[in-house]
Structure 1
Amino acid sequence: MFKTLSLLLLAMIPLLAGQALAEENAETTYRVGISAEPYPPFYSRDASGEWHGWEIDFTHELCARLDAQCEIVPLAWEGIIPALNIGKIDMIIGSMSATPARAKQIAFSDKYYDTPTGLVALDSTDIEPTPEGVSGAIIGVQSGSIQQDYAYVHFGGTAGAIRVYQTLDEELQDLVAGRLDGVLGDTLAMQPFIHSDEGQRCCEYRGNVAADPAILGAGVAVGLRQSDTDLLARVNEAIAAIRSDGTYQKISERYFDIDIYGE
């Protein structure tokens, strides 16, 4: 009996070893959260439903450096941090600025890009990106954005109204229609509109707002659960490698003619 059992165990060793090797070689898949609303040129969907853009390319390159696959998971922006913390997603790579308020809820990697916040206004107005400069003006901001927080703190006492939209596209449509005097947003995300025929006909970029790191943060970074310290270290190493070997520049050249990394 014992001899039979021993032979059976010996026969199972190759099977168990093969299973362990297969599990070891199985590629990890990370679920990466982005806003369900398009945010070109960083991410948007094509007619077939596939996501494309600078941030999508960056995400897949980052995951390749982590020896993993990435699954893009679109979510409502207001619920993206809770989704990370309950395990619905594993990372946020969706143009989220690393602010002190958000850092109380999740961990952030080193930045992977950093562009200023600025004001686009109707040509017919004389508003400027200062508290005094928006006096009486109707300003559009995106829900859940750092620009919304900034507008409430810095412009709330002087602007005629601050209107909140779900998407930047909706804000810009209302700007063109004359229902807004200006839009406060990420300067890079607003570039396609600013340089478009429509944008050139109606509007003008009036400049960047004054810095406020407590609200605007220290650049855009990967959001992770605070408990994922090992993954955070690996993500930082991957970002550094993408920057140092020229891959970051190659990805960026497909979309931009400026350095979006910042200082």
Structure 2
Amino acid sequence: MQVSKVVFAMLLAGVGAAPLVSAHADQLSDVKGRGALTCGVYSNVEPFSYPNAQTRQLEGMDVDICTAIAKHLGVKAKLEPLAVEARIPQLKLGRVDVVVANLAYTKTRAGQIAFSDAYYSTKEVLVVKKADAGKKLADFSGQKISAADGSTSAQSIPLSIKNGQAVTFHDTSSAFLALEQGKVNGFVTNQMTATKIAKQVDGTAGAVVIATQPMLIEPIAVGLRQNEPGMKDAVNKALNAMEQSGEMSQIFDRWLGPKTQYALTRTDKVTPIDQLKFTPVN
């Protein structure tokens, strides 16, 4: 009876005994236990994640990447549509497991979340009216330039244009509309979106062109929660397996490749971000 009392006292004190409540499983175990990977994706940004006109189901490059990663993890993909500015907060709050939404690496983001290996690099470019086609970035010094709120496009403005005044909007369409309406002198977005917009308005009074000098070159990766090494390792293994099998290039070509309206050629490979040469934005 006395021994039982001593053991009980030790358990209460936490001395020399295993904890009464087991530690919370790591994120990878949670995901596998649920049988689903919740991916934060864009709600309506072509060609990354947007609703199909007929089925209303989300489709796009990021949807395919999320689905492929989930398959490699042995679970199903669950898509959670997010606004541009909600990507990091929703990941930090744990409402999504990962973010696959054309997410560029920045210093600030790297202090808040973890990043997978980069699976391609993109350019942030300046879109201007056709009358300004011959101008260089320096010619827009001190002028108003629009971009989507919470994007690296917005962050690139003061970095690439001296005294550039960033005017941000809730989404990319609104930021471009500001250029059309003459409220700003330029509009910054990623190269793919810029190419599509330029083609759509070509031959009209509102025709635009892409400035020859890029604003930034950015590595794109999967956003992950901090301090989850198992999850990060699993995602990186999935991305590298996709690279080796050619699956990553197939996904890229389907949405951005030479036969699409963006006509891009993938020259990047899945690579750890610390092995890339680029100037990260804050």
Residue correspondences, number: 230
Partner of 2:211: 206
SS at match of 2:240: helix
Among residues 130, 137, 141, which one is paired with 2:143 in the alignment?
137
Q: 5 Å matches for 1:237-248?
A: 237-248=237-248
More divergent stretch after superposition (226-235 vs 75-84)? 75-84
Corresponding position: 1:185 with 2:178: no
User: Secondary structure of 1:87's partner?
Assistant: coil
SS in 2 for 1:95: strand
Task: Specify whether residues 181 and 50 from structure 1 end up closer, same or farther in structure 2 by C-alpha distance, changes over 3 A only.
Answer: same
Q: Which residue of 1 aligns with 2:52?
A: 46
Aligned twin of 2:221: 221
Offset at 1:102? 0.6
Query: Residues 251 and 259 from structure 1, CA distance in 2 versus in 1: closer, same or farther, beyond 3 angstroms?
Result: same
Aligned to 1:56: 63
Change (3 A) 1:169 1:127: farther
Q: Of the candidates 94, 103, 108, which is equivalent to residue 96 of structure 1? A: 103
- Aligned equivalent of 1:146, options 142, 145, 152: 152
**Superposition CA RMSD, Å:** 2.4
Structure 1 residues 94 and 210: CA distance shift in structure 2, 3 A: closer
The one-letter amino acid of 2:70's match is: C
The partner residue of 1:105 within 85, 102, 112 is 112
- Identity score, percent: 22
1:195 alignment counterpart = 199
SS at match of 1:185: strand
For residue 14 of structure 1, what is the aligned residue in structure 2? none
Report which stretch shifted further, 65-74 or 177-186. Answer: 177-186
- Mapped to 2, the partners of 1:144 and 1:112 lie a distance apart of 21
Question: Does 2:68 align with 1:68?
Answer: no
Distance 1:102 1:186, change over 3 A: same
Q: Is 1:28 matched up with 2:35?
A: yes
In structure 1, C-alpha distance between the alignment counterparts of 2:122 and 2:182, rounded to whole Å:
27
Change (3 A) 1:81 1:40: same
Flag the 1:85–1:162 CA change in 2: closer, same or farther, 3 A: closer
Output the CA distance in 1 between the equivalents of 2:189 and 2:213. Answer: 10
Q: CA deviation at 1:27?
A: 6.3
Identify unmatched segments of 5+ residues in structure 2.
1-31, 259-263, 270-282
Distance 1:111 1:204 in 2: 28
**Equivalent residue for 1:21?**
none
Stretches of structure 1 that go unaligned for 5 or more consecutive residues are: 1-24
Answer yes or no: is 1:250 the counterpart of 2:250. yes
In structure 2, which of residues 164, 168, 171 is the aligned counterpart of residue 167 of structure 1? 171
Displacement of 1:162 in angstroms is 2.7
Larger displacement relative to structure 2 (166-175 or 50-59):
166-175
* Offset from partner CA, 1:45-82 (integer Å, 9 cap, x none): 13443111111112111211111111111123323222
Distance in 1, Cα, partners of 2:244 & 2:180: 41
SS in 2 for 1:116: strand
Letter in 1 for 2:178: D
Deviation at 1:127, TM superposition (A): 6.7
TM-score, normalising length: structure 1: 0.78
